Structure 1
Amino acid sequence: MHSNMKKYISGLLVVAALASVACNPDRLNEPQKGVIDMDNFYKTPEDAESAVITAYKASKKCYDLGSGFDVSWCIAPPLFVLENAPSDDIYYASGNKDDHVFGLEINEYRDSYTSNNTVVGNLYYAFYQMIYACNLVTDHFQYGDNEVINRAVAEASCLRAYAHFKLYCLWGDAPLVDHVLVGSDKPANTPRAELLDWVINEFDTASKYLPSKSDLNDSKLAIRFTKEAALAFKGKAEVFKGDYTAAKKSLGAVIESGKYELVPGAEMHDLFHMAGDGNKEKIFEFNYVNNPGNDPNFSDALEHFQFNQSCFWRDIKLPTNTIQQVGWGGINPTKEFGDALIANDGINSFRRKAWILTYDDLIYNMSYDNDNVMNTNEKKNADATRGIT
C-alpha cells in the first residue's frame, strides 16, 4: 500500500510539473527569428521601397510558371504562350500531339481547351498573386510628402494596373482587386469597360509621382516604371478603349520627352537579347540577371530556362554561339508568314534577318567549330555536323 501510494504521489508530481510547463504563456509567445513582424513593418520609406521590390519580383512570375506558388508544373512561360500561341502565323511545336498539350490546345483551338489548361490557370493565379503583392504596398502607404514613398506607391499602382490590363485583354470581365482581401471577400467580375477606366486612371495618377529617365541611354530606369512608362501603358489602354484623342496625348508625351528612340535597323536583332537590355527603345522591361549558378527550378533563372526550352530548335546541329542546345521548337513562323514578310520587306531586310533564319543562313552564315576546315559552301553543305539531324 505504501509503495502504491508513492507511485500515485510521484505520478501526480509529474503531471503537476508538466501542467506548470504547459501553462506557461511565455513559452507560447516566442518571437520568430529572422523575420520582421508585420505590425512593425510598412512604417518607413525604406519599408515602402522593400515592399515594392517584392511586388516587382512577384510580377515576373507571369513570365515563368508562377514558381513559388501552389500551381501546376508547366514548362512554358504562361503569359508569353497565351499571348502568342493563338496566332495563325506560328506553330507551337512539341515532341508529339500529346506532348505540351497546354500550348497545342491554345495554338490549334482544340475542343479540349478549358480553364484546366496549365498555362491559363497558372497565369490567372500569378496575376492575382502579383496584385496581392502590390496591394500590400498601396494598403499601407499613400501618396503624400515623402518622395520615396510616393514613388513606391506609384510603381506598385502601375504594376497592379498592368496586371488588371492584361486580365482585361485576356479574360474580359475580371475581378478588380484594389486592396488586400480577407477570407470572407469574394470579389465578382467587374464589367470590362469599368475595369479599363480604372486601369487608365491608375496609370494617370501614378505618372505624376514617377521620375523620368535621365537621357536616351539611361538603362537603369528601363527596369522600373517611369513617368513615360506609365503614360505609354495609359495610352495603350486608351487605344483599347477607342479614345484616340486621349491616346494621342498620352503617347505623344512619351515621344516628346526625348528619352526614347527606335534603335537602328542593324541593332534590331538585339532587342530581345541581353545585348539590347535597357536600350533606348525599351520603355519598360522586367529585370532578369543571368546567373549560371542559380538552380533553374527555384530561381529567376527559371524564366530564362523556359523561354529557351519553349522556343529553341530541336533535333538540329546548332551553331556554337547559340545559348541553348535543346528545346521544343515552339513559336516558329509558318512558311506563309515567312513568304509574306520576304515579299513585303525583301530577303535582306533588317527585320527578316533579325527574326527569321533561312536554311542558307543556318548552314553557311553562322559560326561552327569546324569553320576553319569547312571553309567553302560546298563543304558546309555536305557537313553532317550542322543543320537538321
Structure 2
Amino acid sequence: MKLNNSIKKYLNYCTLILVAGVVSCADNYLEVDSYGAPVLENFYKTPLDAEQALNAAYSPMREMYGVENFWGVMGTDIIFGDIGTDDFIKGGNRLVDNLPLYQKETYDIPTSNIAIEQIWKVNYKGILYANLILEKVPSIEFTNANRKKEIIAEAHFLRAYYFFDLVNTFGGVPLVDKVLAAGEYNIPRSTKSEIYAFIEAELQKTIADLPSRFSKDLSYLGHADKGAAIGLMMRVSLYQNKMGQVKTYGEQLFLIPQYELVEYKTIFEPEGEWNSGSIFEINFSSNTSVLGTGITQRISPKSKKGGGFMQAKEGLRNEFEPNDPRYLATFYNVSGGYGTGWYVKKYSWAPFSNNPSPTIGGNNNSANNIRVIRLADAYLMYAEAIYNIDPVTSVKYVNKVRTRARGAQPLTVVPDLPETLNGQALLDAIYHERRVELAGEGFRYQDLLRTNRVDAILVPLGFVKGKHEVMPIPYSQVTLSKGILKQNNY
C-alpha cells in the first residue's frame, strides 16, 4: 500500500504545485520559500489541477516526518513532544549532540530553537496550500460533483490538522483563513480558544462531506476520510477537556462497523498499515529517495545506522504489567553507547521489525507509515470522557483494549478491569492504559498537560508552570512581524 494511492502518485509533481502556492508572501512571518517561476495564473483550471493541488496540500504533513526536513522530524510530537517527559530521554551519542532536543529535555528552551521553528513554518505552508484550494477549486467545473465536494472537505481537514499542531505547540497563533494579499501579512495572534473554535468548525464541515475509506478502493488510502475527521475531532475535544463532545463523536465513530482492533504486534509492521484498527496514517515509501520517513533512522541505535535519539526511561518500561505482550512489541534493547539503550520498536526496521532497511535514498529513508489516529486511542478517549457518568461502559471500552492486548495469553495476563471499577481508580486505570498502549506515539506530553499532572511528573524534570505548557514563538517570526506577534513567556 505504498505507491498505489494518489497522495504519493503525484508527489513527483509537487515542486510544480508548490509554485502555485507562492502568492507574494515575501518579507512576512508566514513566508514560505518559492521554487521556480510562479504559475498561479495558469493553474487551478481543471479537476486534475485540483487533485494535484490537494496532493501538494498533503505534502507538508508528510514533510514534517520526511527525510528532507531533519529538524522537522526532530520537531514532531513523536520525538520532540515526548522528550523531557517521564517516558523518554534525548539519547543520541552524547549529552548535547542534538542541542534543540537537549533544550527540550532540560526545559531550557530558547526562542531560536530550530525544531520549533520548523513546526511553525511547515504548518503554515500547509495552511497556505489548503487556503489556495478553498479559494480556487470552487470555481473549477467538475463532471464528478462528489469528488469536488471531497477535495474541498479534505482541504478543510488539512487546515484543521495544521492549526491543531500549531495551537498545541504555541497556544494562540495568527488565524490565516484565506490567501493573503499584499499588506495583509502581519496578523496578530488569535486566542487559543478562537483557534480551537476554528478547528472545530473546519472538522464539522469535513465530517459532513467526506466518505468513509471503507466505501472506496485502495487508491483512496492516505486521504482523510470521515473516520479520520471524527477521530481528529475527538482528540481536539479531548485536549480542550470537552468530554461531552468526545462522547458524541466517539459514538459517531463507533457506528462505522468496519473498525476493529487487530493483534497489537502487527500494527506497526508493514502488514499492519491501514488495518481495521487504523483511522488515519501518513503514507511513506522507501522506493524513492524523497518519499521515505526520517523517523526510523533518527530513533534507531547508533550501531544500527541510526541517530540513537528518543530512548525509553525505566519508569515507562516498568509501567507495563508482567507479561504484557505490548512490552515486547514496543521496546528493544541495544546495549552500549550513550543513554538507556532501550529503543522504540514501533518505528524500527529489520532486524527489530519486518520493515526493511532502506536500499534507496540513504540510511534515513524508511517506508514506515506514521500512525496518526488508532481505534484503541479512540476507545480510551471515549472511556475517559464517560468514566464519571457511565463507569460500566467506560470499563467496557478499556477492556476492549486490554483483551486485544492479552491476545491468546491466559486471562491473568493483562486481566480485564472489574466491571465495578469507578471514580479515581478507573481514571487512573485509563491513564495507565494510555501510557502503555500509546507509548512512543507522541501523546504523553499533551496527556500530562491536559490532565494537570505536571506538578508531580514534569516539574521535577525542570518544567516551569505558566511557561512550558507552550513553546516559544520562533524568534525569526517575531522579528519579521515587526512587533505584531507577541511572544509567549520566554
CA distance in 1: counterparts of 2:334 and 2:71, whole angstroms: 31
Hey, what's the Cα distance between the residues in 2 that align with 1:180 and 1:276?
Answer: 38
* 1:37 to partner: Cα distance: 4.0
**One of 302, 309, 323 as aligned partner of 2:297:** 309
Alignment partner, residue 356 of structure 1: 331
Residues 313-369 of structure 1 show CA distances to partners (whole Å, capped at 9, x for unaligned) of 124xxxxxxxxx22232211112221232xxx21x3221110123689x9xxx979x
Q: Aligned letter for 2:152?
A: V
Partner of 1:249 in structure 2? 248
Match of 1:87 among 85, 101, 114: 85
Residues 114 and 272 from structure 1, CA distance in 2 versus in 1: closer, same or farther, beyond 3 angstroms? farther
User: Is residue 2:327 matched to residue 1:331?
Assistant: no
Whether the aligned pair in 2 keeps the contact of 1:229 and 1:284 (CA below 8 Å) is yes
Larger Rg: 1
Shift of 1:65: 6.9
Shift of 1:270: 3.1
Return the offset for 1:242. 2.7
Correspondence for 1:74: 71
Match of 1:97 in 2: 95
Q: Contact 1:158/1:202 (CA < 8 Å) preserved in 2?
A: yes
- 1:165 is displaced (CA, Å) by 0.9
Is 1:278 matched up with 2:274?
yes
Kept in 2, the 8 Å contact 1:94–1:329? The answer is yes
**Alignment size in residue pairs:** 299
1:139: which partner in 2?
A: 135
Identify if the C-alpha distance between structure 1 residues 308 and 192 changes in structure 2 by more than 3 Å, giving closer, same or farther. Answer: same
> CA RMSD for the aligned pairs?
2.8
* AA aligned opposite 2:207: S
1:290 is aligned to 286
Cα 1:269–1:194 change in 2 (3 A) is same
- 1:57-72 paired onto structure 2 within 5 Å: 57-64=59-66, 67=69
Q: What's the CA shift for 1:141?
A: 2.4
* CA–CA distance in structure 1, aligned partners of residues 180 and 247 of structure 2: 36
Match of 1:260 in 2: 259
How far apart are 1:164 and its partner, in Å? 0.5
Question: Partners of 2:173 and 2:326 in 1: how far apart?
Answer: 37
Displacement of 1:222: 4.2
Paired residues of 2:66 and 2:73 also in contact (CA < 8 A): yes
Report 1 or 2 for greater relative contact order, CA contacts < 8 Å, sequence distance ≥ 6: 2
Residues 259 and 277, structure 2, Cα contact 8 Å, conserved in 1: yes
1:130 to 1:36, Cα distance in 2 relative to 1, 3 A: closer
Query: Secondary structure of 1:92's match?
Result: strand
TM-score by length of 1: 0.70
Q: How much does 1:82 deviate? A: 2.5
In the TM superposition, residue 223 of structure 1 has moved relative to its aligned partner by 1.3
- Tell me if structure 2 keeps the 8 A contact 1:219–1:279: no
Structure 1 residues 36 and 174: CA distance shift in structure 2, 3 A: closer
Note if contact 2:91-2:309 (Cα within 8 Å) is conserved in structure 1.
Answer: yes
Does the 8 Å CA contact 2:65/2:72 hold for their aligned counterparts? Answer: no
| Partner SS, residue 283 of structure 1 | strand
Which residue is equivalent to 2:53? 51
Q: Per residue, is there more helix in 1 or in 2?
A: 1
Unpaired stretches in structure 2, ≥5 consecutive residues = 1-35, 336-341, 343-349, 353-490
Unaligned runs of 5+ in 1: 1-33, 68-72, 316-324, 369-389
Distance 2:72 2:212 in 1: 37
* Aligned CA distance change for structure 1 residues 75 and 225 (closer, same or farther; 3 Å): closer
In structure 2, C-alpha distance between the alignment counterparts of 1:253 and 1:290, rounded to whole Å:
36
